Amino acid sequence: MHDVKLFREMHRQRFKADPMIFAAPGRVNLIGEHTDYAEGFVMPAAINFATLAGISPRNDGKIAVYSENQGEEKVFDGVQAKGTKEWTDYPMGVVAILAGEGHKIPGHNLSIWSDVPLASGLSSSAALEVATALAVLGLIDASYPGPTLARLCQRAENEFVGASCGIMDQFISINAKENHALLLDCRDLSYKLAPIPDHVALVIANTMVKHSVAGGDYPTRRRESEAACAVIASHRPGVKFLRDCTLEDLAKWGHEMAPKSLMRARHVIGENLRTVAACEALLKGDLKKLGRLMAEAHLSYSKDFEGSCVEADAMVALAQDLPGLIGARLTGGGFGGCTINLVEQKEAEAFAEALGARYAEQIGIVPQIHVCHASGGARRVE
């Protein structure tokens, strides 16, 4: 996380006021991809990269938003009804959703500084939404239970930004626990925490291929998998989401689906099973099984969901025989971004170095590789 003292000073100098400061982490998803919007299971962990939001009141009713990352300040007359397709849509979307919930939002200065790598599939968007939400709620002295706040932030992204994401990223950014992964049931938002053993490191390898949820492929995949669900629902009226479907359903009615829809559904249904099994394996300390499930999940993500890319497949393949590897797969929304590698802590640095060198040699791009640990959820920082 960036230097909070320096951040406070930046806000003071720009806005001539002392800010309250909040931090919201990014995340990796250990397993359970493209299952959240199908009311299925995911198992993310927050990481030690975060977005800081500083807030102070102003008395002209305006809302000023400054991002150190963008190097830009924008001033709005007040709450906005719709987005402008710029980075400010994330914070202003949160403000609009909170106003829609009946909160009177006073004028304020919001400054933002993030070290969550952008467009890398590590939920920089959710971290920005959650940090903003905590800051604005702090300003008006209001609060929500974690799951409700996650829904509000998700709505900001769905309704204001226009990205059709699920609940995973906002949920983990708010509700994470240090040194734990969180198995979330995206149907009722109940969850189970699974400790990540001390001897296991989260090694995040950035392919440097840009990822985006708002772009074309994510919503296309979502539509394709929902079309498969509609076919099953036409036979089994109780079915609402792929969460309700089984592999037997696919065996019976898969031939009525477009081939791509069948593949997407096979991924989602299998991924739900793998995710629940992965949490059990982690809870039992069966890291071999966890690694095997991650490998199967990557294959399914790449082949059936077609959510990977040459670079991410290479990053996963190149990790396979390196000492200390427990499991590796592409994490997050896909089509680029990062792989998550669970690695024996004592091998983690050497692993990161060797993987980086192999990737650079094969792909011709120098990747960023981070040895991380699971961090706690969003909070006020002093």
Residue list 201-240, contact with ligand GAF (CB under 6 A): 213
- Could you say which of 36, 89, 169, 249 is catalytic? 169
Q: How far is the CB of 123 from ligand GAF (least distance, A)?
A: 6
Residue 206 CA to residue 294 CA, distance in Å, equals 17
Between 109 and 173, CB nearer to ligand GAF: 173
**Phi, psi dihedrals of residue 245, rounded to the nearest 5°:** -100, 160
Q: Total residues at the site for ligand GAF (CB under 6 A)?
A: 13
Is 55 or 165 the residue whose CB approaches ligand GAF more closely? 165
Q: Which stretch binds ligand GAF (CB under 6 A): 57-65, 132-140, 164-172, 202-210?
A: 164-172
Please tell me whether residue 332 binds ligand GAF under the rule CB under 6 A. Answer: yes
What's the closest the beta carbon of residue 186 comes to ligand GAF, in angstroms? 9
Interacting span for ligand GAF (CB under 6 A) from 86-94, 96-104, 109-117, 163-171: 163-171
* Residues 314 and 363: beta-carbon distance below 8 Å: yes
In whole angstroms, give the CA distance from residue 108 to residue 139.
9
Structure tokens at 276: 């629940």
Contact between 168 and ligand GAF per CB under 6 A: yes
Helix (H) or strand (E) holding 290: helix 287-303
Residue 291 or 337 having the CB closest to ligand GAF:
337
The reply to whether 333 sits near ligand GAF by the rule CB under 6 A is yes
In the numeric block, the tokens 């927050």 are attached to 46
Q: Which of 95, 133, 152, 165 binds ligand GAF (CB under 6 A)?
A: 165
- Burial class of residue 5 (count of CB atoms within 10 Å of its CB; 0-12, 13-18, 19+): exposed
Find the binding residues for ligand GAF in span 23-52 (CB under 6 A).
29, 33-34, 36-37
C-beta of residue 247 within 8 angstroms of C-beta of residue 262: no
**Cβ 345 to ligand GAF shortest distance, Å:** 26
Q: Is-catalytic flag, 169?
A: yes
How many other CB atoms sit within 10 Å of the CB of residue 382? 6
Classify the C-alpha dihedral 44-48-50-54 as positive or negative: positive
Q: Which is nearer to ligand GAF, 91 or 307 (CB)?
A: 307
Residues 6 or more apart from 86 whose CB is under 8 A from it?
A: 74
Q: Toward ligand GAF, which CB reaches closer, 80 or 164?
A: 164
Cα 242 from Cα 266, distance rounded (Å) = 10
Number of CB atoms found within 10 A of residue 151's CB:
16
We find the least distance from the C-beta atom of residue 231 to ligand GAF, in angstroms, to be 21
| Alpha-carbon torsion angle 75, 79, 82, 86, nearest 10 | 30
Stretch that binds ligand GAF, among 145-153, 166-174, 298-306, 321-329 (CB under 6 A): 166-174
Q: Of 324 and 333, which has the nearer Cβ to ligand GAF?
A: 333
Kind plus residue range of the DSSP H or E element containing 299: helix 287-303
Quote the CA–CA distance of 306 and 266 in Å, as a whole number.
12
Q: In the bound complex, what is the minimum distance in angstroms from residue 126's beta carbon to ligand GAF?
A: 7
Residue 54 lies near ligand GAF (rule: CB under 6 A): no
Residues at the contact surface with ligand GAF, assessed by CB under 6 A: 29, 33-34, 36-37, 123, 165-166, 168-169, 213, 332-333
- Catalytic residue list: 169
